[in-house]
């Protein structure tokens, strides 16, 4: 998120200095090589290389810029809450440099943090360690990101909205200027509302998916195509068609982390996250339905070879965090099945987690099994010849419908 934002700001003519502690990453960025795979990112790094630099020197970066975005990770803790130690650490470093800096500087939190964090934790830390006053001596804002992995550059350049929570009018003016090239609405609000908009958006999107999965499970029983139901519902502008693709559920590094974080916060506050907890419950059960459907056709999986197409949490990424393939593999192994898996990008990551399964060199090779499960909708899976196979589809791959036996999880 940090590098995508930096590269996109550079595209709009800003001079960007990225700070990281990882020397390898710094070197790559300075050589216009992207340390992560994101469509279009490396092109931006190359094309705007004169506007973008990377360093581990906080002082150089802060003294030669007007705005600092905090983009560090906020990983999950064991109770589902988030660890904001990196946010605190960099806030203190920024404050110590602001102490000596004469010019007014704007600090913007972009990391996903529980509502209240910028106002109640970042702000006091900045004031304490700089000895200065927010609003008067420096500015503070919260500007959440809504980027999807894999298409983050596109999402950054063509957002539906930009949300800025600000502390003072001057911070607002500066961010208005930074985002002046964007034609979408710029929604201005408070620091804490901006933080909540991020959580509420992710929770709502995950809710849409779990909702359509529950409806999809009913549809399956009634022999109704849940995709037709979603198409029909989606025509209502109040509902919209997006994020109503039913299947084996949502994964990734964001939805699970954010939903659990809000639940963890609600528990501490003695609030009950009734809807969000149900959304997770539906999502936990959804991948196992794929196995139940498989057992309709192969009741005893012991010693059977099951092919698994797709390991990434969604197509066009090598990210396997909370991938729905994980609970599927866990259950197949429990039932004694032999697994042959293939994914165009995620096999290396998956092998570290499950070294005991067979990784194929092509998607075709997976078809050489007693049944095939589809867990990620990769484009290349559309080209396979499924005619002679038993296929249990978790992602609605229309081309697989011509299999000898075909079952869709919600259709
Ligand atoms: C998500 C949000 O979409 C971004 O707006 C947000 O910025 C990001 O989290 C974040 O907080 O950083 P991402 O995790 O990259 O983005 O992935 P999505 O494209 O939203 O997909 C999430 C999961 O939902 C995937 O497993 C996908 O297969 C599943 N999904 C998505 C469905 O099962 N059905 C749908 O209709 C859509």
Q: pLDDT tens, 279-292?
A: 999 999 999 999 99
pTM above 0.85, yes or no: yes
Q: For residue 137, what pLDDT is reported?
A: 96
What does residue 305 show for φ and ψ, rounded to 5 degrees?
A: -95, 120
Instruction: Say how far apart CA 358 and CA 341 lie, in whole Å.
Output: 6
Q: For residue 268, what pLDDT is reported?
A: 95
- Whose CA is closest to 212, among 161, 110, 283? 283
| Token pair of 249 as six digits | 């559920």
Mean pLDDT of 238-266: 97
Query: For residue 146, how far is the Cα from the chain centroid?
Result: 9
Mean pLDDT of 23-50: 96
Mean pLDDT of 84-104: 98
Pocket test for ligand 1, best of 149, 376, 378, 409 (most atoms within 8 A of CB): 149
Query: For residue 115, how far is the Cα from the chain centroid?
Result: 19
**Ligand 1 atom nearest residue 395's Cα:** 33
Mean pLDDT of 315-319: 92
Mean pLDDT of 171-177: 97
On whether the CB atoms of residues 319 and 312 are closer than 8 A, the answer is: yes
Within 101-146, where are the H helices? 117, 123-130
CA 248 – ligand 1 centroid, Å: 13
Cα radius of gyration rounded to whole Å, the chain: 24
**Ligand 1 atom nearest residue 376's Cα:** 28
CA 313 – ligand 1 centroid, Å: 9
pLDDT digits (tens, 9 = 90+) for 207-219: 999 999 999 999 9
- Whose CA is closest to 247, among 101, 404, 359, 409? 409
On whether the CB atoms of residues 234 and 241 are closer than 8 A, the answer is: yes
**Ligand 1 atom nearest residue 148's Cα:** 15
Mean pLDDT of 357-364: 98
Q: For residue 115, what pLDDT is reported?
A: 98
Mean pLDDT of 386-390: 96
Task: Report the residue count for the chain.
Answer: 411
Residue 132 has pLDDT above 90, yes or no: yes
Mean pLDDT of 316-324: 95
On whether the CB atoms of residues 46 and 30 are closer than 8 A, the answer is: no
Residue 354 has pLDDT above 90, yes or no: yes
Q: What percent of the chain has pLDDT over 90?
A: 99
Q: For residue 159, what pLDDT is reported?
A: 98
Residue 189 has pLDDT above 90, yes or no: yes
Q: How many C-beta atoms lie closer than 10 Å to residue 154's C-beta?
A: 15
Q: Which residues line ligand 1 (CB under 6 A)?
A: 145-149, 202, 205, 209, 243-245, 247, 249-252, 254-255, 313-314
Q: For residue 37, what pLDDT is reported?
A: 84
- Whose CA is closest to 212, among 175, 166, 249? 249
Mean pLDDT across the chain, nearest whole number? Answer: 97
Q: Can you state the percent helix, strand and coil of the chain, rounding each to 5?
A: 45, 15, 40
- Whose CA is closest to 369, among 392, 343, 346? 392
- Indicate which residue's Cα is closest to atom 30 of ligand 1: 250
Residue 251 has pLDDT above 90, yes or no: yes
| Token pair of 108 as six digits | 């913007």
CA 13 vs CA 67, 151, 200, 331, 343: distances in Å? 14, 22, 32, 51, 38
Instruction: Say how far apart CA 154 and CA 306 lie, in whole Å.
Output: 37
Q: For residue 209, what pLDDT is reported?
A: 98
On whether the CB atoms of residues 148 and 221 are closer than 8 A, the answer is: no
Q: Can you say whether the dihedral through the CA atoms of 117, 121, 123, 126 is positive or negative?
A: negative
Instruction: Say how far apart CA 154 and CA 312 lie, in whole Å.
Output: 20
Instruction: Say how far apart CA 102 and CA 105 lie, in whole Å.
Output: 9
Mean pLDDT of 400-407: 96
Mean pLDDT of 190-209: 98
Mean pLDDT of 50-79: 97
* Residue appearing with tokens 């961010």: 175
């Amino acid at each position: 998120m940090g590098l995508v934002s930096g590269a996109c700001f550079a595209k709009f003519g800003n001079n960007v200095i990225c700070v990281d502690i990882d020397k390898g990453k710094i070197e790559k960025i300075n050589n216009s090589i992207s340390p992560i795979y994101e469509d279009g990112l490396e092109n931006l790094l190359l094309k705007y290389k004169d506007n973008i630099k990377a360093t581990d020197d906080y002082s150089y970066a802060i003294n030669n810029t007007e705005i600092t975005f905090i983009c560090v990770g906020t990983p999950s803790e064991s109770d589902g809450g988030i660890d904001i130690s990196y946010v605190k650490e960099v806030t203190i470093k920024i404050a110590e440099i602001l102490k000596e800096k004469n010019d007014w500087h704007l600090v913007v939190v972009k990391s996903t943090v529980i509502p209240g964090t910028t106002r109640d934790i970042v702000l006091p830390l900045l004031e304490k360690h700089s000895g200065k006053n927010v609003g008067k001596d420096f500015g503070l804002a919260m500007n959440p990101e809504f980027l999807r992995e894999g298409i983050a550059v596109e999402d950054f350049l063509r957002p539906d909205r930009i949300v800025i929570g600000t502390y003072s009018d001057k911070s607002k003016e500066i961010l208005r200027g930074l985002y002046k090239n964007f034609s979408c609405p710029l929604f201005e609000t408070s620091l804490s509302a901006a933080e909540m908009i991020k959580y509420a958006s992710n929770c709502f999107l995950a809710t849409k998916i779990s909702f359509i999965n529950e409806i999809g499970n009913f549809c399956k029983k009634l022999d109704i195509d849940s995709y037709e139901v979603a198409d029909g519902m989606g025509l209502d502008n109040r509902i919209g068609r997006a994020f109503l693709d039913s299947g084996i559920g949502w994964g990734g590094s964001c939805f699970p982390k954010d939903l659990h974080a809000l639940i963890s916060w609600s528990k501490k506050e003695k609030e009950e996250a009734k809807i969000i907890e149900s959304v997770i419950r539906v999502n936990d059960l959804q991948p196992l339905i794929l196995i139940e459907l498989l057992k309709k056709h192969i009741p005893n999986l012991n010693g059977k070879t099951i092919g698994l197409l797709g390991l990434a949490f969604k197509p066009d990424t090598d990210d396997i965090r909370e991938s729905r393939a994980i609970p599927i593999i866990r259950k197949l192994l429990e039932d004694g099945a032999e697994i042959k898996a293939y994914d165009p990008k995620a096999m290396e990551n998956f092998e570290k987690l499950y070294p005991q399964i067979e990784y194929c060199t092509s998607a075709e090779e997976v078809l050489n099994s007693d049944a095939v499960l589809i867990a990620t909708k990769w484009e290349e899976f559309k080209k396979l010849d499924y005619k002679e196979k038993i296929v249990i589809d978790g992602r609605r791959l229309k081309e697989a419908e011509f299999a000898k036996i075909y079952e869709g999880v919600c259709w």
